[in-house]
Amino acid sequence: MGEFVRLEVDAGVGTIRLDRPPVNALNNQVQAELAEAAKEAAERDDVRAVILYGGEKTFAGGADIKEMAAKSYVEMQRFGTALSESLTLIAELPKPTVAAITGYALGGGLELALTADRRVAGDNVKVGQPEIQLGIIPGAGGTQRLARLVGPSRAKDIVFTGRFVKAEEALAIGLVDEVVAPDEVYAAAHRWASQFVNGPAVALRAAKIAIDAGLDMDLRNGLKLETQLFTGLWATEDQKRGMQSFIENGPGKATFEGK
């Protein structure tokens, strides 16, 4: 368990919890601890879905600007690469993930939220990529994951202006998927995550890989990947359980072991 990032597990749901007051700024240590939490969540069989959470006040206010400003070019190359790799570990978690966004998700904070499969936000949140106001650009997914999520034109507007996007607009453009009252954010994220606790873990992993990796391929190769993953599930116990349950009891009644 890290000083600023910890993995909390309860009834099959893991929460990667940022806790670096006042705004969960992403510094060297937070970056390293995020990577360790992601690795642990990926490896633990008792973690079937993951929530990214920064607490009741704010998700993450961005990178630690004071620390970044003092870095040399070489030091920043190392940090930027390490941060991007840490967030990629979270994006590639082989389990459903959801970001529970409170307060602000700015700069690196929004880039962290973009790694999740789903984003739940409070109706008072503000998100954005304000790096341009510092004379730089997003460096850990803000130009890539954001454009893939909301389209290049909207991503350029958000990145070029550095403006804050409020919850209503974020929902309308698909930047977040659900907006709730501020004190309901974690509970709503938990409801979404908990539905996968007793699900077919191998099939869920395959579905995530098929969608995410397929988007980086042309359609023909994406379809080939899908076929490989689809047929490979006939080697799982859950496929046998699911189909036998369907034959005997109808749809939606199978119990899975995640094997």
Active-site residue flag, 111: yes
CA-to-CA dists, residue 25 to 31, 234, 240, angstroms: 10, 45, 46
Among 67, 75, 131, 226, the one annotated catalytic = 131
Active-site residue flag, 257: no
Report the alpha-carbon distance of residue 162 to residue 132 in Å, rounded: 6
DSSP codes, 37-49: HHHHHHH-TT--E
Among 8, 111, 168, 248, the one annotated catalytic = 111
Quickly list H helices, 22-141. 28-43, 65-69, 73-91, 108-114
Find, among 191, 194, 204, the residue nearest to 259 by Cα: 204
Find, among 115, 138, 105, 140, the residue nearest to 41 by Cα: 115
Point out the residues that are catalytic: 111, 131
